[in-house]
Amino acid sequence: GDSVTQMEGPVTLSEEACLTINCTYTATGYPSLFWYVQYPGEGLQLLLKATKADDKGSNKGFEATYRKETTSFHLEKGSVQVSDSAVYFCALSEYDMRFGAGTRLTVKP
Amino acid sequence: DTAVSQTPKYLVTQMGNDKSIKCEQNLGHDTMYWYKQDSKKFLKIMFSYNNKELIINETVPNRFSPKSPDKAHLNLHINSLELGDSAVYFCASSQRDSPYNEQFFGPGTRLTVL
């Protein structure tokens, strides 16, 4: 069945550092791919999405590119801020939504 | 305007009690979900309803019973609460035939069973 594997956390970075959170997927067809973010005490919010190979999703300085050849959708940001501290979930949707285990990011001033 | 709302936000109760969590969405979506998030933030789908019909029922104890009075509401009733039921429960909704099928989440209900 469909599944998502993302890098284990926690990830701790200093402000203005570069971020990469790896995400790979397994699917039988052509899923849509998502990154969701969960800030402390809140529900999940959609951060960005991509529906087909080579699509790049972007929002709030975050980017991820749908790579069919490597079945990956890595999340990147060039310069993180303290306000980016949250848990990030990679997800795919083909017939149903499948979430990764989540990666906790802490950004220190 | 809140898109997906849940009540209550916090629920503290004793083992053995019965409790309900309510969810409402005003997005006009045809599919609603319940998820359980454990203390390690792992998100597990419990139920999915499409147009008031159950389409996913993952392996959850039958003490958990979802009820969908209409497309905009999906309530979760839990009988005989156990310590292991302590978690954050999220409701979500989506439009199943949309290009992305992305889900919109409620703020969560933190259930603590003592």
Q: How far apart are CA A19 and CA A75, in angstroms?
A: 8
Output the pLDDT for position B55: 77
DSSP string covering B33-94, please?
Answer: EEEEE-TT--EEEEEEEETTEEEEE-S--TTEEEEEEETTEEEEEE-S--GGG-EEEEEEEE
| pLDDT score of B104 more than 90 | yes
Q: What is the mean pLDDT of residues B92-99?
A: 85
How do beta strands B10-13 and B109-113 pair? Answer: parallel
Q: pLDDT band for position B1 (50/70/90)?
A: low
Identify the closest residue of chain B to A35 by CA–CA distance.
Answer: B102
**pLDDT of B58 strictly over 80:** no
B33: which chain A residues are within 8 Å (Cβ-Cβ)? 97
CB distance B41–A38 less than 8 Å?
yes
Per-residue pLDDT at B46 exceeds 80: yes
B18 residue type, one letter? D
Q: Flag whether pLDDT at B36 surpasses 70.
A: yes
Place of tokens 């959170």: A21
Confirm or reject contact between A42 and chain B (CB < 8 A): yes
Q: Kindly tell me if the per-residue pLDDT of B35 is higher than 70.
A: yes
- Strand segments, DSSP code E, in chain A are 3-6, 11-14, 19-21, 23-26, 32-38, 44-50, 56-59, 62-65, 75-77, 86-93, 97-99, 103-108
pLDDT of residue B37: 94
Q: Do B100 and A93 touch (CB under 8 A)?
A: yes
Which residues does chain A have with pLDDT short of 70? none
